[in-house]
Structure 1
Protein backbone atom coordinates (compact mmCIF):
# COMPACT_ATOMS: atom_id res chain seq x y z
CA UNK A 1 0.00 0.00 0.00
CA UNK A 2 1.14 3.52 -0.78
CA UNK A 3 2.47 5.64 2.07
CA UNK A 4 -0.57 7.49 3.50
CA UNK A 5 1.52 10.63 3.82
CA UNK A 6 1.75 10.78 0.01
CA UNK A 7 -2.02 10.87 -0.49
CA UNK A 8 -3.41 14.43 -0.28
CA UNK A 9 -5.73 15.01 2.63
CA UNK A 10 -6.87 17.93 4.71
CA UNK A 11 -5.47 18.70 8.12
CA UNK A 12 -8.56 18.53 10.28
CA UNK A 13 -9.04 18.01 13.99
CA UNK A 14 -11.73 15.75 15.36
CA UNK A 15 -14.18 18.53 16.22
CA UNK A 16 -13.85 20.08 12.76
CA UNK A 17 -14.66 16.70 11.21
CA UNK A 18 -17.65 16.19 13.50
CA UNK A 19 -19.16 19.57 12.72
CA UNK A 20 -18.41 19.58 8.99
CA UNK A 21 -19.57 16.09 8.01
CA UNK A 22 -22.71 16.16 5.88
CA UNK A 23 -25.02 13.52 4.41
CA UNK A 24 -24.36 14.24 0.73
CA UNK A 25 -26.71 13.10 -2.03
CA UNK A 26 -25.09 14.57 -5.13
CA UNK A 27 -21.86 13.14 -6.55
CA UNK A 28 -19.48 13.50 -9.45
CA UNK A 29 -19.25 10.37 -11.68
CA UNK A 30 -15.77 9.52 -10.45
CA UNK A 31 -14.51 6.48 -8.54
CA UNK A 32 -12.68 6.78 -5.25
CA UNK A 33 -9.08 5.60 -5.56
CA UNK A 34 -8.43 2.17 -4.05
CA UNK A 35 -5.53 3.47 -1.95
CA UNK A 36 -7.82 5.96 -0.24
CA UNK A 37 -10.39 3.23 0.39
CA UNK A 38 -7.73 1.11 2.10
CA UNK A 39 -6.93 4.02 4.43
CA UNK A 40 -10.62 4.56 5.19
CA UNK A 41 -11.06 0.88 6.05
CA UNK A 42 -8.04 1.11 8.30
CA UNK A 43 -9.66 4.07 10.08
CA UNK A 44 -12.88 2.05 10.40
CA UNK A 45 -11.24 -0.90 12.13
CA UNK A 46 -9.78 1.43 14.75
CA UNK A 47 -13.29 2.14 16.07
CA UNK A 48 -14.20 0.80 19.51
CA UNK A 49 -15.41 -2.80 19.58
CA UNK A 50 -17.21 -4.61 22.39
CA UNK A 51 -14.81 -7.05 24.08
CA UNK A 52 -12.45 -6.30 21.18
CA UNK A 53 -14.29 -8.94 19.15
CA UNK A 54 -14.15 -6.78 15.98
CA UNK A 55 -17.24 -8.48 14.64
CA UNK A 56 -17.37 -6.63 11.32
CA UNK A 57 -16.40 -7.15 7.71
CA UNK A 58 -16.49 -4.94 4.63
CA UNK A 59 -17.67 -5.20 1.04
CA UNK A 60 -16.54 -2.55 -1.45
CA UNK A 61 -18.59 -2.16 -4.64
CA UNK A 62 -17.52 0.19 -7.43
CA UNK A 63 -19.04 -1.60 -10.42
CA UNK A 64 -21.72 0.76 -11.74
CA UNK A 65 -23.87 -1.98 -13.26
CA UNK A 66 -23.88 -3.86 -9.96
CA UNK A 67 -24.70 -0.70 -8.00
CA UNK A 68 -27.60 0.03 -10.35
CA UNK A 69 -28.97 -3.50 -9.95
CA UNK A 70 -28.80 -3.34 -6.16
CA UNK A 71 -30.51 0.05 -6.31
CA UNK A 72 -33.40 -1.36 -8.36
CA UNK A 73 -33.71 -4.31 -5.98
CA UNK A 74 -33.80 -1.96 -2.98
CA UNK A 75 -36.43 0.24 -4.64
CA UNK A 76 -38.67 -2.71 -5.45
CA UNK A 77 -38.38 -4.12 -1.94
CA UNK A 78 -39.10 -0.71 -0.39
CA UNK A 79 -42.15 -0.14 -2.59
CA UNK A 80 -43.61 -3.53 -1.70
CA UNK A 81 -43.05 -2.95 2.03
CA UNK A 82 -44.36 0.62 2.15
CA UNK A 83 -47.55 -0.16 0.24
CA UNK A 84 -48.57 -2.58 2.99
CA UNK A 85 -48.22 -0.07 5.85
CA UNK A 86 -48.56 3.50 4.68
CA UNK A 87 -48.70 6.78 6.61
CA UNK A 88 -47.72 10.33 5.64
CA UNK A 89 -43.99 9.69 5.93
CA UNK A 90 -44.22 6.34 4.14
CA UNK A 91 -46.19 8.00 1.35
CA UNK A 92 -43.34 10.46 0.81
CA UNK A 93 -40.84 7.59 0.67
CA UNK A 94 -43.02 5.83 -1.90
CA UNK A 95 -43.18 8.93 -4.09
CA UNK A 96 -39.39 9.11 -4.09
CA UNK A 97 -38.58 5.46 -4.82
CA UNK A 98 -41.25 5.19 -7.52
CA UNK A 99 -39.40 7.73 -9.66
CA UNK A 100 -37.71 5.79 -12.45
CA UNK A 101 -34.59 7.97 -12.42
CA UNK A 102 -34.13 7.74 -8.63
CA UNK A 103 -31.04 5.78 -7.61
CA UNK A 104 -30.80 4.85 -3.93
CA UNK A 105 -27.04 5.41 -4.10
CA UNK A 106 -27.47 8.87 -5.67
CA UNK A 107 -25.18 7.77 -8.51
CA UNK A 108 -22.15 7.62 -6.21
CA UNK A 109 -19.52 5.28 -7.66
CA UNK A 110 -18.41 3.67 -4.40
CA UNK A 111 -20.45 1.73 -1.86
CA UNK A 112 -18.93 0.26 1.29
CA UNK A 113 -21.16 -2.13 3.20
CA UNK A 114 -20.26 -2.99 6.78
CA UNK A 115 -21.41 -6.46 7.79
CA UNK A 116 -21.67 -8.02 11.22
CA UNK A 117 -19.74 -11.26 10.97
CA UNK A 118 -21.68 -13.08 13.69
CA UNK A 119 -24.72 -12.55 15.87
CA UNK A 120 -24.36 -10.91 19.26
CA UNK A 121 -25.71 -8.21 21.53
CA UNK A 122 -23.31 -5.48 20.44
CA UNK A 123 -22.34 -6.40 16.88
CA UNK A 124 -24.57 -3.75 15.29
CA UNK A 125 -23.06 -1.10 17.54
CA UNK A 126 -19.58 -2.24 16.48
CA UNK A 127 -20.56 -1.79 12.83
CA UNK A 128 -21.99 1.69 13.37
CA UNK A 129 -18.95 2.84 15.31
CA UNK A 130 -16.80 1.69 12.39
CA UNK A 131 -19.13 3.53 10.00
CA UNK A 132 -18.69 6.82 11.85
CA UNK A 133 -14.91 6.44 11.82
CA UNK A 134 -14.99 5.74 8.10
CA UNK A 135 -17.18 8.75 7.28
CA UNK A 136 -15.12 11.16 9.38
CA UNK A 137 -11.92 9.86 7.81
CA UNK A 138 -13.45 10.28 4.34
CA UNK A 139 -14.00 13.96 5.05
CA UNK A 140 -10.27 14.48 5.57
CA UNK A 141 -9.70 13.38 1.95
CA UNK A 142 -12.35 15.77 0.64
CA UNK A 143 -14.82 12.93 0.15
CA UNK A 144 -18.52 13.04 0.88
CA UNK A 145 -20.56 10.19 2.34
CA UNK A 146 -24.07 9.13 3.22
CA UNK A 147 -25.62 6.14 4.99
CA UNK A 148 -28.15 4.42 2.71
CA UNK A 149 -30.75 2.75 4.90
CA UNK A 150 -32.85 1.94 1.81
CA UNK A 151 -30.29 -0.70 0.82
CA UNK A 152 -30.10 -2.74 4.04
CA UNK A 153 -33.01 -5.12 3.42
CA UNK A 154 -32.03 -5.75 -0.19
CA UNK A 155 -28.41 -6.50 0.72
CA UNK A 156 -29.65 -9.06 3.24
CA UNK A 157 -31.70 -10.95 0.67
CA UNK A 158 -30.34 -14.48 0.05
CA UNK A 159 -29.80 -13.78 -3.65
CA UNK A 160 -27.60 -10.76 -3.00
CA UNK A 161 -25.63 -12.53 -0.30
CA UNK A 162 -25.01 -15.35 -2.75
CA UNK A 163 -23.94 -13.05 -5.59
CA UNK A 164 -21.62 -11.04 -3.34
CA UNK A 165 -20.19 -14.15 -1.71
CA UNK A 166 -21.44 -13.26 1.77
CA UNK A 167 -21.98 -16.14 4.24
CA UNK A 168 -25.59 -16.58 5.35
CA UNK A 169 -24.73 -15.89 9.00
CA UNK A 170 -23.44 -12.39 8.21
CA UNK A 171 -25.75 -9.37 8.18
CA UNK A 172 -25.50 -6.11 6.25
CA UNK A 173 -25.74 -3.33 8.83
CA UNK A 174 -24.33 -0.09 7.42
CA UNK A 175 -24.26 0.67 3.67
CA UNK A 176 -22.27 3.87 3.06
CA UNK A 177 -21.80 5.65 -0.24
CA UNK A 178 -18.61 7.60 -0.86
CA UNK A 179 -17.60 10.00 -3.58
CA UNK A 180 -16.51 13.40 -4.69
CA UNK A 181 -19.30 15.92 -4.00
CA UNK A 182 -20.64 17.78 -7.02
CA UNK A 183 -21.51 20.85 -4.98
CA UNK A 184 -21.82 22.31 -1.51
CA UNK A 185 -24.23 20.73 0.98
CA UNK A 186 -25.66 23.14 3.51
CA UNK A 187 -25.57 22.15 7.19
CA UNK A 188 -28.75 20.77 8.72
CA UNK A 189 -30.30 22.22 11.84
CA UNK A 190 -30.01 20.00 14.90
CA UNK A 191 -32.14 19.85 18.00
CA UNK A 192 -30.33 20.65 21.26
CA UNK A 193 -29.33 17.66 23.39
CA UNK A 194 -32.29 16.09 25.17
CA UNK A 195 -30.88 15.74 28.68
CA UNK A 196 -33.21 13.36 30.48
CA UNK A 197 -31.48 13.62 33.83
CA UNK A 198 -28.36 15.25 35.29
CA UNK A 199 -27.66 14.44 38.92
Structure 2
Protein backbone atom coordinates (compact mmCIF):
# COMPACT_ATOMS: atom_id res chain seq x y z
CA UNK A 1 0.00 0.00 0.00
CA UNK A 2 0.98 3.65 -0.43
CA UNK A 3 0.06 6.34 2.05
CA UNK A 4 -3.09 5.87 4.10
CA UNK A 5 -5.67 5.05 1.42
CA UNK A 6 -3.42 2.71 -0.55
CA UNK A 7 -2.49 0.88 2.64
CA UNK A 8 -6.13 0.66 3.76
CA UNK A 9 -7.06 -0.85 0.39
CA UNK A 10 -4.15 -3.30 0.44
CA UNK A 11 -4.69 -4.38 4.05
CA UNK A 12 -8.49 -4.32 3.98
CA UNK A 13 -8.69 -2.45 7.28
CA UNK A 14 -8.78 1.07 8.68
CA UNK A 15 -5.51 2.99 8.53
CA UNK A 16 -5.43 5.92 10.93
CA UNK A 17 -2.45 8.22 10.54
CA UNK A 18 -2.67 10.80 13.31
CA UNK A 19 0.60 12.52 12.36
CA UNK A 20 1.99 12.19 8.86
CA UNK A 21 5.41 13.48 9.98
CA UNK A 22 5.98 10.43 12.18
CA UNK A 23 4.12 7.63 10.37
CA UNK A 24 6.15 5.23 8.16
CA UNK A 25 3.39 4.90 5.52
CA UNK A 26 3.88 8.56 4.62
CA UNK A 27 7.68 8.66 4.68
CA UNK A 28 8.04 8.81 0.85
CA UNK A 29 5.29 11.43 0.52
CA UNK A 30 5.92 13.89 3.36
CA UNK A 31 7.12 16.66 1.07
CA UNK A 32 3.98 16.32 -1.05
CA UNK A 33 1.81 16.29 2.09
CA UNK A 34 3.52 19.42 3.44
CA UNK A 35 2.98 21.28 0.17
CA UNK A 36 -0.70 20.29 0.31
CA UNK A 37 -0.88 21.33 3.98
CA UNK A 38 -1.85 17.80 5.11
CA UNK A 39 -0.78 16.62 8.56
CA UNK A 40 -3.20 13.76 9.32
CA UNK A 41 -5.12 11.22 7.24
CA UNK A 42 -7.71 8.63 8.25
CA UNK A 43 -8.64 5.99 5.67
CA UNK A 44 -11.44 3.42 5.82
CA UNK A 45 -11.91 0.74 3.11
CA UNK A 46 -15.28 -0.34 1.77
CA UNK A 47 -16.17 -3.71 0.30
CA UNK A 48 -18.52 -5.53 -2.05
CA UNK A 49 -20.80 -8.33 -0.88
CA UNK A 50 -18.02 -10.85 -1.42
CA UNK A 51 -15.58 -8.97 0.81
CA UNK A 52 -13.48 -7.53 -2.03
CA UNK A 53 -12.18 -4.01 -1.46
CA UNK A 54 -13.92 -1.54 -3.79
CA UNK A 55 -12.19 1.61 -2.58
CA UNK A 56 -11.51 3.76 0.45
CA UNK A 57 -12.88 6.86 2.13
CA UNK A 58 -10.15 9.25 3.24
CA UNK A 59 -10.28 12.26 5.56
CA UNK A 60 -7.39 14.74 5.52
CA UNK A 61 -6.52 17.35 8.16
CA UNK A 62 -4.19 20.34 8.28
CA UNK A 63 -2.97 19.48 11.79
CA UNK A 64 -2.11 16.23 13.60
CA UNK A 65 -5.34 14.73 14.84
CA UNK A 66 -6.64 11.52 16.41
CA UNK A 67 -10.20 10.40 15.63
CA UNK A 68 -12.87 10.19 18.29
CA UNK A 69 -15.22 7.18 18.28
CA UNK A 70 -17.92 9.39 16.75
CA UNK A 71 -15.52 10.41 13.97
CA UNK A 72 -14.79 6.80 13.09
CA UNK A 73 -18.48 5.89 13.20
CA UNK A 74 -19.26 8.70 10.75
CA UNK A 75 -16.46 7.75 8.34
CA UNK A 76 -17.49 4.09 8.45
CA UNK A 77 -21.06 5.10 7.63
CA UNK A 78 -19.76 7.10 4.65
CA UNK A 79 -17.80 4.00 3.59
CA UNK A 80 -20.93 1.84 3.85
CA UNK A 81 -22.87 4.29 1.67
CA UNK A 82 -20.00 4.43 -0.82
CA UNK A 83 -20.06 0.63 -1.07
CA UNK A 84 -23.80 0.68 -1.77
CA UNK A 85 -23.37 3.35 -4.44
CA UNK A 86 -20.52 1.57 -6.23
CA UNK A 87 -22.31 -1.78 -6.04
CA UNK A 88 -25.47 -0.24 -7.50
CA UNK A 89 -23.56 1.38 -10.36
CA UNK A 90 -21.86 -1.92 -11.20
CA UNK A 91 -25.14 -3.83 -10.96
CA UNK A 92 -26.81 -1.31 -13.28
CA UNK A 93 -23.97 -1.69 -15.76
CA UNK A 94 -24.31 -5.49 -15.70
CA UNK A 95 -28.06 -5.12 -16.24
CA UNK A 96 -27.44 -2.76 -19.15
CA UNK A 97 -25.02 -5.23 -20.72
CA UNK A 98 -27.40 -8.14 -20.17
CA UNK A 99 -30.26 -6.15 -21.71
CA UNK A 100 -28.11 -5.35 -24.74
CA UNK A 101 -27.28 -9.03 -25.24
CA UNK A 102 -30.93 -10.00 -24.69
CA UNK A 103 -32.05 -7.56 -27.37
CA UNK A 104 -29.28 -8.19 -29.89
CA UNK A 105 -28.96 -11.98 -29.87
CA UNK A 106 -30.33 -13.81 -32.90
CA UNK A 107 -31.71 -16.59 -30.69
CA UNK A 108 -35.28 -16.25 -29.49
CA UNK A 109 -35.46 -15.78 -25.72
CA UNK A 110 -38.51 -15.83 -23.47
CA UNK A 111 -38.59 -15.25 -19.70
CA UNK A 112 -41.52 -16.42 -17.60
CA UNK A 113 -42.55 -16.53 -13.97
CA UNK A 114 -43.26 -19.88 -12.31
CA UNK A 115 -46.93 -19.96 -13.42
CA UNK A 116 -45.59 -19.83 -16.20
CA UNK A 117 -46.64 -16.43 -17.61
CA UNK A 118 -44.49 -14.62 -20.13
CA UNK A 119 -42.67 -11.64 -18.59
CA UNK A 120 -40.32 -10.71 -21.43
CA UNK A 121 -39.37 -11.73 -24.95
CA UNK A 122 -36.65 -10.45 -27.22
CA UNK A 123 -36.94 -9.25 -30.79
CA UNK A 124 -35.69 -12.54 -32.24
CA UNK A 125 -38.43 -14.46 -30.40
CA UNK A 126 -41.07 -12.15 -31.86
CA UNK A 127 -39.62 -12.53 -35.36
CA UNK A 128 -39.61 -16.33 -35.03
CA UNK A 129 -43.10 -16.72 -33.54
CA UNK A 130 -44.93 -13.78 -35.08
CA UNK A 131 -46.14 -12.57 -31.68
CA UNK A 132 -45.20 -9.05 -30.65
CA UNK A 133 -43.99 -8.42 -27.12
CA UNK A 134 -47.31 -6.73 -26.27
CA UNK A 135 -49.24 -9.78 -27.49
CA UNK A 136 -47.02 -12.23 -25.62
CA UNK A 137 -46.78 -10.59 -22.19
CA UNK A 138 -48.92 -12.35 -19.61
CA UNK A 139 -49.61 -15.31 -21.89
CA UNK A 140 -48.69 -18.91 -21.17
CA UNK A 141 -46.00 -20.21 -23.57
CA UNK A 142 -48.47 -22.90 -24.59
CA UNK A 143 -49.78 -20.38 -27.14
CA UNK A 144 -47.01 -21.84 -29.32
CA UNK A 145 -48.04 -25.47 -28.90
CA UNK A 146 -48.48 -27.21 -32.23
CA UNK A 147 -50.55 -30.16 -31.06
CA UNK A 148 -47.89 -32.55 -32.37
CA UNK A 149 -46.72 -33.57 -28.88
CA UNK A 150 -48.90 -35.48 -26.43
CA UNK A 151 -49.49 -34.77 -22.75
CA UNK A 152 -46.80 -37.28 -21.72
CA UNK A 153 -44.18 -35.28 -23.66
CA UNK A 154 -44.88 -32.07 -21.75
CA UNK A 155 -45.24 -33.91 -18.44
CA UNK A 156 -41.75 -35.39 -18.86
CA UNK A 157 -40.36 -32.01 -19.94
CA UNK A 158 -41.68 -30.21 -16.85
CA UNK A 159 -40.59 -33.03 -14.57
CA UNK A 160 -37.03 -32.55 -15.83
CA UNK A 161 -37.21 -28.77 -15.39
CA UNK A 162 -38.49 -29.03 -11.81
CA UNK A 163 -36.13 -31.81 -10.76
CA UNK A 164 -32.93 -31.00 -12.66
CA UNK A 165 -33.46 -27.29 -13.29
CA UNK A 166 -33.29 -27.59 -17.08
CA UNK A 167 -34.50 -29.40 -20.18
CA UNK A 168 -33.56 -29.34 -23.84
CA UNK A 169 -34.83 -31.07 -26.91
CA UNK A 170 -36.48 -30.75 -30.30
CA UNK A 171 -39.98 -29.26 -30.26
CA UNK A 172 -42.59 -28.61 -32.90
CA UNK A 173 -44.29 -25.26 -32.31
CA UNK A 174 -46.76 -23.09 -34.19
CA UNK A 175 -46.39 -19.45 -35.18
CA UNK A 176 -49.13 -16.87 -34.77
CA UNK A 177 -50.08 -17.32 -38.43
CA UNK A 178 -50.61 -21.06 -37.88
CA UNK A 179 -47.41 -22.16 -39.58
CA UNK A 180 -45.62 -25.08 -37.90
CA UNK A 181 -41.89 -24.93 -37.22
CA UNK A 182 -39.37 -27.14 -35.45
CA UNK A 183 -36.81 -25.73 -33.03
CA UNK A 184 -34.19 -26.88 -30.55
CA UNK A 185 -35.55 -25.63 -27.24
CA UNK A 186 -33.57 -25.20 -24.03
CA UNK A 187 -35.37 -24.25 -20.80
CA UNK A 188 -33.52 -23.38 -17.58
CA UNK A 189 -34.67 -22.47 -14.10
CA UNK A 190 -33.45 -19.21 -12.56
CA UNK A 191 -32.81 -19.26 -8.81
CA UNK A 192 -32.48 -16.47 -6.25
CA UNK A 193 -29.61 -16.10 -3.78
CA UNK A 194 -31.34 -18.57 -1.43
CA UNK A 195 -31.62 -21.27 -4.08
CA UNK A 196 -35.35 -20.79 -4.62
CA UNK A 197 -36.69 -20.88 -8.21
CA UNK A 198 -37.95 -17.53 -9.46
CA UNK A 199 -38.19 -17.74 -13.25
CA UNK A 200 -37.79 -19.87 -16.33
CA UNK A 201 -35.73 -18.86 -19.37
CA UNK A 202 -36.19 -20.56 -22.71
- With normalisation by structure 1, the TM-score equals 0.23
Q: Taking CA–CA contacts closer than 8 Å with sequence separation of 6 or more, which of the two structures ends up with the larger relative contact order? A: 1
Larger Rg: 2
| TM-score where L is the length of structure 2 | 0.23
More strand by share: 2
